[in-house]
Amino acid sequence: MGLIREFDRGELANIGRDLHSFAAELFPVCRSITGHGIRHTLEIIQNRIPLKTFQVPSGTPVFDWTVPKEWNIRDAYIKDASGNRIVDFQRSNLHVLSYSIPVHTKMPLSELKPHLFTLPEQPDRIPYRTSYYKPDWGFCLSHKQMLGLSDGTYEVCIDSTLVDGQLTYGECFLSGRSEDEVLISCHACHPSLANDNLSGLTVATFLADFLSKQDLRYSYRFLFIPGTIGAITWLARNREAAARIRHGLVLTCLGDTGGFHYKKSRRGDAEIDRATAHVLRHCGEPSEVLDFTPYGYDERQYCSPGFNLAVGCLMRSVWGSFPEYHTSADNLDFIQPQQLAGSLRVCTSILDVLENNRRYRNLNPYCEPQLGKRDLYRSTGGDGIEAEINARLWVLNLSDGEHSLLDVAERSGLPFATVKDAAEILSQSGLLSVVPEGHAGSNAHAASPSTGPATTRGRGATALD
Ligand code: ZN
């Protein structure tokens, strides 16, 4: 049985600090959907987890899309008549419209204005804008600064390249006892934005590092990809691997102080949907479960009808719903160590459900077994006697070979961890046996890679769905 333990308070505080300082390390990098920024980001992640990077040439067809040209930028500015850099890429990479084509010229303010992007309703903040699929150039600046620009001639320079190159993504694969996979996906294509981008990326990195030290039931595939085109590219190149994905989460916006939001997979009743809803109900923070919509992050691609994977999206505040979203205010102050750590804890709890969710059979099903004579009518000191006994009775009652531990947790209202502990102690006492699922995941040590999942994967999968 794969074991994912809970973190204690002190550990969580340390992890929160580490997550935040990792985000701070990644923050200055000018990322986009291709180019040196995302490659450098993947290199930094590679220092922590075994990440393989893949390069896909520009022009490669991927389903209905084409891998775009590679964009890189060295410098960009607007200079006033006296030669002062009044808008300077070196001060904030948000100042440049991402994927701007190169330009170096002088023009009057009236001609420059159509290339300036601001947020009139948030006049102090720089917006984040992109133009991936339409050749354009532009600058983003605060509305206040734009209003202060006097008529006259300005020198504009964007020292960028947009040429045939590569799309880069990173993959961290952790092999478990089963070939069935859990997908964890996050986008790594936004420049200096913390919650939308870095929070998911840092939590996913720490989660991969944590799992890499565990004995795992499932195999795990972590994707660090450019949003949309990266998921489409990965799916186009990995249809076989995609068919092995049993459960998945897109991680994003996990560092702000809002409560949790979980957007269900297109299926709506997948095990990941139930596991996440269950964990959030017991996590001690406000949370809301949202129905699937075909808009948002890369769950859009994983849940497209041709794939229809059981992949949901875990967030704190929902993208687009907070004023800092896609502005310079989504910075390192906007994400908090405590929230990052809390998000990591919720992720590990969800995976703990997936790793340990099984069906059991009560070996003494005719009336209640006498717990007292087996020394099971006392607490082991975990959740208090009442919850523990309650959990044992629930597990015994529902273990008819049909109900999973998650069924028991949902129906009893008890946290999954309590139910799991009860099943473990009852198994040790000989009152329960695990219902074999017909694949390697059901047996901790007997399976070898050659004997396990390939022939019986279908059975294992339906048993879990
Ligand atoms: Zn975004």
Confidence grade of residue 446 (pLDDT, cut at 50, 70, 90): very low
Average pLDDT on 47-65 reads: 98
Average pLDDT on 96-123 reads: 98
Residue 118's nearest CA partner among 325, 327, 321, 320 is 327
Cα–ligand 1 centroid distance for 224 (angstroms): 14
- Find out if CATH 3.90.1720.10 is the number for domain 70-163: no
Cα–ligand 1 centroid distance for 315 (angstroms): 13
- Element at 428 (helix H, strand E): helix 416-428
Average pLDDT on 237-262 reads: 98
Cα–ligand 1 centroid distance for 296 (angstroms): 9
SS (H, E, C) 283-337: CCCCEEEECCCCCCCCHHHHCCCCCCCCEEEEECCCCCCCCCCCECCCCCCCCCH
Residue pLDDT, tens place only, 29-45: 999 999 999 999 999 99
Q: N- to C-terminal Cα distance for the chain?
A: 19
Question: What integer pLDDT is reported at residue 31 of this predicted model?
Answer: 98
Residue pLDDT, tens place only, 279-331: 999 999 999 999 999 999 999 999 999 999 999 999 999 999 999 999 999 99
Average pLDDT on 97-123 reads: 98
Mean pLDDT of the chain: 92
The reply to whether 3-67+166-356 and 359-434 are identical in fold is no
Q: Is the pLDDT of residue 449 over 70?
A: no
Confidence grade of residue 6 (pLDDT, cut at 50, 70, 90): confident
Cα–ligand 1 centroid distance for 150 (angstroms): 32
Residue 221's nearest CA partner among 51, 29, 460, 440 is 51
Residue 233's nearest CA partner among 66, 429, 10 is 66
Per-domain boundaries in the chain: 3-67+166-356, 70-163, 359-434
Whole-angstrom CA distances from 198 to 102, 206, 341 are: 27, 12, 14
Cα–ligand 1 centroid distance for 188 (angstroms): 10
Average pLDDT on 367-384 reads: 81
Cα–ligand 1 centroid distance for 256 (angstroms): 14
Q: Tell me the residues surrounding ligand 1 (ion) with CB < 5 Å.
A: 196
Specify the fold of 3-67+166-356: Aminopeptidase (3.40.630)
Choice between 398 and 377, residue whose per-residue pLDDT is larger:
398
Cα–ligand 1 centroid distance for 128 (angstroms): 9
Cα–ligand 1 centroid distance for 198 (angstroms): 10
Q: List 362's β-bridge partners, or say none.
A: 432
Cα–ligand 1 centroid distance for 404 (angstroms): 37
Q: Is the pLDDT of residue 57 over 50?
A: yes
- Element at 346 (helix H, strand E): helix 337-356
Cα–ligand 1 centroid distance for 54 (angstroms): 22
Altogether, the residues listed in the chain come to a count of 465
Specify the fold of 359-434: Arc Repressor Mutant, subunit A (1.10.10)
Q: Is the separation of the CB atoms in 74 and 67 below 8 Å?
A: no
Average pLDDT on 361-368 reads: 96
Average pLDDT on 186-191 reads: 98
Cα–ligand 1 centroid distance for 114 (angstroms): 23
Cα–ligand 1 centroid distance for 197 (angstroms): 7
Helix, strand, coil abundance in the chain, percent, nearest 5:
35, 25, 40
Question: What integer pLDDT is reported at residue 445 of this predicted model?
Answer: 35
Cα–ligand 1 centroid distance for 195 (angstroms): 9
